[in-house]
Amino acid sequence: MKIVVTATGTDLEAKIDPRFGRCPYFLFVDTDTMDFEAVENSSVTLGGGAGIQSAQFVAEKGAKAILTGNCGPNAYQTLTAAGIQVIIGANGSVREAVEKFKSGGFAATSQPNVQGHFGTSGQPFSGQTGVGFGTGMGRGRGMGRGMGMGRGMGAMSPTGGMPTSLSKEEELAMLRDESRAMEEEKNRLMERIRQLETGKVKQVIARIDQQKCNGCEACLPVCPPQVIQMEGQKAVVKDGCTACGQCVDVCPTGAITMS
């Protein structure tokens, strides 16, 4: 069965991106073989309609189910009209989510769980009680051009959709994933701004602050291409970093950043 997972990276160890329409990558996974295809989401920068366009795209690719964090009403309608199961509340790595799906650990939702534009100006889905928070900003300029962006997220009530089944730990994990995804998107935007301003392309990789590194070696085993090595009592990143970000998650001192 072919399913699709919203992801922050291009392999099975990438984290789930909780946003459907604006996730950086879609990972199409064959649940029988675990073969996968990573496709960059071309809807990330759309001013509007990202959810619908993404839904049409994954339907055209033949996915039978989608695993994501949140899904707005337009995307939900498009996905379900195409016969695609919508599973929300997924977190952790793509591999973990797919394994949970295979073992029957998810149930398809019967409704969207956020309003449209989640990830750009989100609110909890109307009709649900719960908490929501968000900020937004907009910018416009002459000659009819303008753009805006904002962020928001919502947690649903005990009577609502996905969060009904979330434990405190699961909600914490989901919120941490969302926070990390937002931070990564901000870094991508800042890097693109820098590229446009300077005309220079800089490769984003993991960098280790030698002052903060305590030599615990926790980052070594999580690095897929094994490019982190110890030099004396400090960890260093050698050539070949794929910017997967997994070392950032495990470092207890915050010594590793992506830049």
**Interface residues toward ligand SF4, by CB under 6 A:** 206, 208, 213-219, 222-225, 227-228, 235, 237, 241-247, 250-251, 253, 255-256
The residue among 138 and 225 lying less far from ligand SF4, judged by its C-beta, is 225
Find out whether 25 and 15 touch, Cβ atoms under 8 Å: no
Q: How far is the CB of 168 from ligand SF4 (least distance, A)?
A: 26
The residue among 114 and 235 lying less far from ligand SF4, judged by its C-beta, is 235
The residue among 66 and 255 lying less far from ligand SF4, judged by its C-beta, is 255
The residue among 88 and 219 lying less far from ligand SF4, judged by its C-beta, is 219
The residue among 14 and 52 lying less far from ligand SF4, judged by its C-beta, is 14
Q: How far is the CB of 169 from ligand SF4 (least distance, A)?
A: 22
Q: How far is the CB of 257 from ligand SF4 (least distance, A)?
A: 10
DSSP class per residue in the chain:
-EEEEEESSSSTTSBBPS-STT-SEEEEEETTT--EEEEE-TTTT-SS-HHHHHHHHHHHTT-SEEE-S---HHHHHHHHHTT-EEE----SBHHHHHHHHHTT-----SS-SB-TTTTTS--BPTT--EEEEEEEEEEEETTTEEEEEEEEEEEE-TTSSGGGG--HHHHHHHHHHHHHHHHHHHHHHHHHHHHHHH-------EEE-TTT-----TTTTT-TT--EEEETTEEEE-TT-----HHHHH-TT--EEE-
β-pairing verdict for 65-67 and 85-87: parallel
Q: How far is the CB of 211 from ligand SF4 (least distance, A)?
A: 11
The backbone torsions φ and ψ at residue 14, rounded to the nearest 5 degrees and listed phi first, read: -65, 155
The residue among 179 and 214 lying less far from ligand SF4, judged by its C-beta, is 214
Q: Six-digit token pair at 195?
A: 């590229």
The residue among 46 and 250 lying less far from ligand SF4, judged by its C-beta, is 250
Q: How far is the CB of 64 from ligand SF4 (least distance, A)?
A: 30
Q: How far is the CB of 243 from ligand SF4 (least distance, A)?
A: 5
Q: How far is the CB of 233 from ligand SF4 (least distance, A)?
A: 9
